[in-house]
Structure 1
Amino acid sequence: MTARVAATAAADRARIRAGDHTGPTSGLAPGFAQANLVILPADDALDFLRFCVRNPKPCPLLEVTDTGSPRPPGLATDADLRTDLPRYRVFQDGHLIDEPTDIAHHWRADLVSFLLGCSFTFEWTLAAAGLPVAHQLQGVNVPMYVTSRRCSPAGPFDGPLVVSMRPYAPEVIPQVVEISARFPAMHGAPVHIGDPAEIGIEDLAAPDFGDAVRVGTDEVPVFWACGVTPQAVVVEARPSLAIFHAPGHMFITDRRHVDFDTQEGS
């Protein structure tokens, strides 16, 4: 990793920490991987770890912090998970109680943080291959939907799969699938292509999270497992406390996208 690239990630985290950027992180720190965040009390952490192992498509695990530590040394040695995401969602007993720009006042000594792979990595690779994603072209957040598919349960964690959607012309979909499949740590290949009703989505224009995108008459919706899935699952499990990134407001790591490409060096 070059010094210039490392400085870009650190600089964007510093801007977020200072409150100078509070919006979605798509497009920030070009070349860097971003991550989804789940924070739970230690009493719930082992069951959630099992949930990630059983559901690697929506919950590809990148790092688990030490209990009580906000530091993710494997992804960014100088980072603080309490301040370095633009916006968080805080749940108490399954109810949303806060959407702050830092969580220092919610932090407890028994909390464990999980960092999960993010689709921004394969989006970056798709764009580099001349296959840009619709939500970036349209200047909005990626649309995300709660589906009728259920995840494999672990302890109290049991709930629906959430997916993100990007439309593509049919002739390029094989290439889109091949590229995203190279990144299993970042959700990998799509979980569904085509009719949204087949996975319980009634209206593409009304996403559960994020923003709607225009789907061209010559395009087909393509759906990937989404890191917002844990939020839907935790709402059903109702732990005493749970903290997440706000949808689209990710953690910027010091790891490059290419670090997660299974084709790299092959």
Structure 2
Amino acid sequence: MGQSLRRINRNQSSGSVSKHRRSKRHSQLPNLKTRFPDLAELPPELALAVLSNLNATDLCLAACVNDFWKELANDQLLWQGLCRATWGCVTAYERMNEPGFSWKTLYLQLDEASLAFSADPQVGLDYLFQHNLVDNDALAIAKFLHTTNRLAHWQVRQFLRTRSDVLEELVGLEDYANHFLPNALRTFFSHVQTPSERGPYLHTLIEMFARKFISCNPDCNLTVDTICVLCYSLMLLSIDLTSPKVKNKMSKREFIRNLRRATQEVDDELSGHLYDNIYLVGHIAPQKW
């Protein structure tokens, strides 16, 4: 009995000491319930650095807090960063030094134009031209399409089908240097609509891509005709390997044998790498948008 009491007393005393130590440590910790400092209490440079992490909607909401936040949220540097990050190249950037130029106004106009383009490409282009945001020429339009992700991609592909001049300029902006052929072809088909059947339009697309690929990779030792043959072969292989309707899939050996018959410029090792890419990565033109 006495030993039990002594053990209890020792436990109680050690427990009180532990509580005292915990309370002491707790008193030394900072108050975690302290409010987040107001931007007005921070240096202007630090306050702008905080707001630079916000998107356009949040910046507009921040401007509604008070006059100080409004002044910070309307800073030209913040809206310039948003514009250039969302639309990489538009003609309106050349007017940035003109009196009365506003990056926030430009952002709102480009956002409106992007929404209009996603609904109807021609309406969006008319808005861009009327507000002098993009010049009415193929290269300027191609640069606008190439440097933004704010547009509905299926509308972009439909538009490019009707504007071969813009499509040619857009392909010219691509850089396929040191790209493996199937990966470069995937990039190409992410911008243009893949025809559902063979025809003159598909032939034009493939030939356009082949010329650009060779210009970016002059040491590939392949001709335009050979690149076209490889592109058609990769498209057929993609359908064969990914379509659930095809029960008997083409083997690697069959693909190499077929390419050997189609062209003498491609060795078996390259043919095998091409097959492996489609087998492991997937369809050459998934059209997922």
The higher radius of gyration belongs to 2
- Structure with a larger share of its residues in helix: 2
Q: TM-score range by the shorter chain?
A: under 0.3
Bigger relative contact order (CA 8 A; separation at least 6):
1
